[in-house]
Structure formats: structure tokens, C-alpha cells
Amino acid sequence: MKNREIAKILYEMADLLEIKGVEFKPRAYRRAAMNIESLGIDIEELYKRGELEKIPGVGKSIAEKIKEYLETGTIKKWEELKKEIPVDIESLSSIEGLGPKMIKILYEKLGVKNIDDLERVAKQGRIRRLKGFGVKTEKKILESIEFARKKQERFILGYILPEANKILENLKPYTSRISLAGSIRRRKETIGDMDILAVSPNPDLAMDMFVKMESVDKVLARGITKSSVRLNSGIQVDLRIVEEKSFGSALQYFTGSKEHNIELRKIAIKKGYKLNEYGLFEGEKQIAGESEEGVYEALGLQWIPPELRENRGEIEAAMNGKLPKIVEYNEIKGDLHTHTKWSDGANTIEEVVKEAIRRDYKFIAITDHAGNLKVAGGMDEEEIKEQAKEIERVRKKYDEIFILHGVEANITKDGKIDVSNNILKDLDIVIASVHSAFRMDEKEMTARLINAMENEYVNVIGHPTGRIIMKREPIKIDMEKVLDAAKEKNVFMEINAYPERLDLNDVNVKLAVEKGVKISIGTDAHTTGHLQYLELGTAVARRGWAKKEDVINTYDIKELMKILQ
């Protein structure tokens, strides 16, 4: 699947064009890239059907470039731009706060082409002398460089999962059993490599199909029981083929986590057994291993969902039959955070609603930016009233779904909501988020969030820590205090399901659930394609031990509207 690759190139072209000072085009390229990234189906399929221009934002010229890439493996215009502006955009834009405009100035004035150059000029104190930069920016850049360097090469779950599912689909005809394993099966927020496990009547053929997949960049190893490849997207995939009688124990072993496995093995030893990827053995005799359930059962444990296997108490709970019944993917009835053209989203309300209906949701919340977030096209109070009329119109047209009218409002520095209560009181759902002044000390920031929750109309704190995975650190807050306040004020904590956010994360969700704070899952969709990420939020809820009743997205409309009052 080349969707990600192509989107990445288009984003890079947008940045390069912007650096060149070309107008309008950068926006068009970005819009196309955003839609391709979240397309949901393989772009090559659309290409084969001659339907590239059906992708929103893809006109004739961009379609030509996609075609060129699929046919030749590159795009001439892109190569030219890179030659003309030899700047490592990808790594520079991974530095927080560094957008194309700043990269342009740094390149033109100081010759910065990569992170090493950037670090050098920052240390020399030359950035602060540039117009519009200053000492603070320079310091922030240095901090961000350090953060970026610390991260290892890991991949964002939400971007890898579609590729993984595609591989499973490709291999299905050649296998009798197949499953993801490792961190991707556990739905960890980032993935080191992708592990796949299968049983096959013809392992040689299955391996052939695997190493010859179109998305393979390089074959790292080719064997009968194990092969490894690197995909075009850069991620490594290991495929292991095992015997039917060992599938369960191999799946258990290769799902991990390592810490979970170590504890499990200790239990086996205590019982006088031996546990490995081939099975559970008593002496020479295999007593379990064909199914994963069988392995856990023989060890005296309930079967543990993969999302819980992090050695955070799940083994003890399973031993005592006290594993929580965590929320199921199909219990989620709708999305509680979406954007439309009324602020910075790409689609109309009606388009978002239609996609939600196609997904069989029972409800959808339209929550555009409101207040002073001008970059995100925040609505003023008149516009919110106008939008209410539009929602009313769409409601009349589609009675198979319930549309909640809400906003995502900003929490000001001192913890106020920047939309007046007079407006908030008429909305179905109010999300309040921190979108500015991220760098306050813990005490101030904690007070800021708690203040925001004092507002009686606030229902949800959006992306509560503001972190962006591998890019931006969370704001500093005393999570316990914030959660205690949330419980007291009946405010819900969001799991923002956008792939790079997943905020709250699993650990904080567990804490919230333990304190009785309810969770609201929202994709923060800025295009209809983003609605697919809802399941990532559910995965985080599951990893955080949340039960059905802890997640308000599982409620029916009546219960939901009642709890949102």
C-alpha cells in the first residue's frame, strides 16, 4: 500500500513549494496529502480504476503526479524541487515548532539544511538575531533537537495498522491460520517492527508470496520458518510459520510483551511445566499449545486480551478470575470529536454525517474550533449560532443518526473558556482544550485545567496532555489532581484517537478508570477519512482497562444526552 509514501511526498512538495514562495499550490498539495493518508483503501486500486481524481483535493495535475509515481517510482517535479532546495525537510519539520516558513528563513539566511546545521547555528546564538525568532525560539529549538534525537525509530500504530491488515489479506489464501503478533497485536501506540504468525499447508509458497509483495523494499532474510522484509514505508516485518499444534503457544510467545511472558513462564515453572513458543510441556508431553486460550487455561488463568499484556497486574487478576470485562470494539456507538469546514476541517457537516452513517454510528458530535484560535478558523459566536441552524437542517435530512452540536473551545492561560456561557449553554457537548501556552509549570498548568473544569458547561477535556507522539512532550500537570477534579465536577477525559495523539494514553486512562472518571473517545477528524481512527481510541481504552460503562461512547443516545447535561 503506497498511500503513506505518496502522502509524504506530497507534503514534502508542499513544503518545498512554500519555501520557493509559490502561492496556493502548497495548500492544494497538503489537502491532497491529507486525504490520501486517510483514504482507507489502496490508492493503487483507485489508480487501476482510473479514479484518482475522485479523491477529494486531487485534481488533474496531482493525479498525474501520483500516476507517475506508481508507474516510475518517482516524480520528476519532486526530484527537481529537492535539487533546487537541498534541505532535509522531513527531519527539520520533525522539530517541534519548525514549520516551512521558518525552515525557509533558516535556509536562506543561515544556510541550514539539516538538524546538525540547525543545532550549530542555534548554539552559536545566530537564530535569535533573525527577524521574528528571538532567544526563546532558539532555546526551544535546542530543546526540541534533544527530544528528537532521543526517540528511536518507531512507527505510529495508526499508520501501520492498515498496511498490516493488507498483508494479512494478501497471505490469507496461502495460510490456514494467520494473526498479527507482537506490539501491533497489543495495539501499542508505537511499533518497533511488525510480527506476523501463520500456519501454512505450503510454507515455501507462503514465504514466496510474502517476500514478493509489492510493498517490499528489501528482503532481509528468507527461510521456511522465518522471513523478514523491510517495506517501502521503512518498517520491518517478520513472518513466522509454525506447526498447527504450536500456533497458540507461538502466538502467545510472540505477542508478548516480554515482561508479560517472563511472568507467565514463572507460573509455568511453579507448576512444574515448561513454557516456550512450541507449547506448554509436562516433561516431554505437550499439554497445551494449539490454542492460546488452552495455554492460559492450563496455567490456571483466564485468557488475557492482548491489549492488557504489559505486566501491569493482568496476570494476577487473571489468576483470581478478576480480569475486568474491557470495552469491546463493537460497543462504541459514535465519535465525539470532529471538525468540519466551519473551522479547519476539509468536509461539510453533511459529508461527515454521511460517513458516520456509513459506519453505522448511532451518533456523531460536530465540534468545530471556537473562540480565538484564529489559525484553526475558530468560529465566533455568530458563526456558532449559524452553525446550529445548519445542524438543524442536516438533522431533518438524516434521522438514522443523532447529531450532537458541540464546540472545541480553548482554555485560556488562566483557565477560562474563550466562548461565553450564553453560547455554551445551548450546545450538546463542550470540549475544552489547551491550544496555547503549553509551557507553564506544573502547578500553574494543573490549576489552569482545574479552573476550566469549574465552568459548568464543560463536558470534556480534549487531548488532556497535548502530547504529540515522538514530536511534542506532554504539558506538565499533576494528573491525579486533575482526575480528582474531573470526578468531582463530572467532567470527562478525552481519549483523542488521532494516530499521533492517543491522549490520554493507556497508563493515564487506567488511572482515570480507577478514580471513576469517565472517558470520551473522539477522533479529532479533520477529514472524513479520519473517522476510521476511532478504533485506535478504543484500543487505548482497552489498554487502560476501561470497561463498557467507563466509556460514554458506548451509551445509547438517551443516556449520553443525560450524562452530558
End-to-end CA distance of the chain: 44
Q: Residue 438 burial (CB < 10 Å; 0-12/13-18/19+)?
A: middle
Establish if 238 lies at the interface with Ca ion (CB under 5 A). Answer: yes
Per DSSP, the three-state class of 433 is strand
| φ, ψ at 491 (rounded to 5°) | -105, 145
Sheet with strand 363-369: strands edge to edge: 334-335, 363-369, 402-410, 429-433, 460-461, 492-496, 519-522
- Residue whose Cβ sits closest to ligand DGT: 256
Establish if 193 lies at the interface with Ca ion (CB under 5 A). Answer: yes
Establish if 135 lies at the interface with ligand DGT (CB under 6 A). Answer: no
Binding region for Zn ion (CB under 5 A) out of 246-254, 342-350, 425-433, 547-555: 425-433
User: Which parts of 429-468 interact with Zn ion (CB under 5 A)?
Assistant: 433
Establish if 262 lies at the interface with ligand DGT (CB under 6 A). Answer: yes
Q: Indicate the pairing of strand 492-496 with strand 519-522.
A: parallel
Binding region for ligand DGT (CB under 6 A) out of 2-10, 104-112, 180-188, 197-205: 180-188
Instruction: Tell which residue, 230, 205, 219, 299, has the closest CA to residue 261.
Output: 299
Establish if 192 lies at the interface with ligand DGT (CB under 6 A). Answer: yes
Rg of the chain over Cα atoms, rounded to whole angstroms, equals 25
Binding region for Ca ion (CB under 5 A) out of 177-185, 416-424, 521-529, 548-556: 177-185
Binding region for ligand DGT (CB under 6 A) out of 89-97, 112-120, 139-147, 181-189: 181-189
- Residue whose Cβ sits closest to Ca ion: 182
Q: Cell numbers for 444, please give them.
A: 500553574
- Give the nearest distance from C-beta 268 to ligand DGT in angstroms: 11
Cβ proximity to Ca ion, 182 vs 345, nearer residue = 182
User: What is the size of the binding site for Zn ion (CB under 5 A)?
Assistant: 1
The residue type of 188 is K
- Give the nearest distance from C-beta 463 to Zn ion in angstroms: 6
Among 26, 182, 345, 415, binds Ca ion (CB under 5 A): 182
d(CA 545, CA 357): 29
- Alpha-carbon dihedral angle through residues 539, 545, 548, 554, given to the nearest 10 degrees: -40
The CA angle 411-412-413, to the nearest 5 degrees, is 125
Pick from Ca ion, ligand DGT, Zn ion, none: which does 433 bind, CB < 5 to 8 A by kind? Zn ion
Binding region for Ca ion (CB under 5 A) out of 48-56, 237-245, 345-353, 455-463: 237-245
Residues that bind Zn ion (CB under 5 A): 433
| Residues lying near ligand DGT in the complex (CB under 6 A) | 182-183, 188, 191-193, 195, 253-254, 256-258, 261-262
Per CB under 5 A, residues contacting Ca ion are 182-183, 193, 195, 238
